[in-house]
Amino acid sequence: MKTIRRSLAVTFLLGMLVATVAHAAEVIVLAEEDDTERPAVILLQGKILADDDVVFEQKVAPMRRAIVFLEGPGGHEWASLNIGMTIRRRAFRTAVADRARCSSGCAMAWLGGVIRYIGDGARVGFHAASPWQGSREVSASGDARMGSYLATLGYPDRTVDFVISTPPRQSRT
């Protein structure tokens, strides 16, 4: 009984440690839009977690024009696709800065931009969906969601094929 309690306590503490290490993506407004044609400048940086799409939506709600700089390893599929849809619905532009990396869900959000920029030496990487983080398996339903998202944004079938043709845990730029 003592061993079970100790195991549960250790499991609980490890879970708490992991929960404190997992940080949501940061959504930072670097510059406000002005009354001229200058757009707001937003930075979305880090791993995208569930509900980061809600935070993103709240931050950009008052903005009419913006360019969203993205950098990160991706993350939660639904949140990433929802961020991309918000970007497209708001007709924002997206960018990956010089030498920055944006892959997986980050890259899917980047595709939401009505105009997309890639800086010198920047990397934007795509791969098929996986059922959970770190999995090497392909999620057919996840790939279907990505295909539907890309079709909604107006991308052709060959773009969907390119995105889902690389296995999870790899990246194709």
- Strands 93-96, 116-118: pairing kind: parallel
Query: Does residue 98 surpass a pLDDT of 90?
Result: yes
23-164: CATH architecture = Alpha-Beta Complex (3.90)
- Pick from 23, 70, 83: nearest CA to 42: 70
Query: Does residue 3 surpass a pLDDT of 50?
Result: no
Which residue ranges make up each domain of the chain? 23-164
Rg (CA), the chain: 18
Across the chain, mean pLDDT equals 83
The Cβ of residue 170 has, within 10 Å, a number of other Cβ atoms equal to 12
pLDDT digits (tens, 9 = 90+) for 122-141: 999 888 777 666 666 777 88
Q: In the predicted model, what is the mean pLDDT of residues 151-169?
A: 86
The pLDDT-based confidence of 60 (bands split at 50, 70, 90) is very high
Query: For residue 167, what is the DSSP state?
Result: P
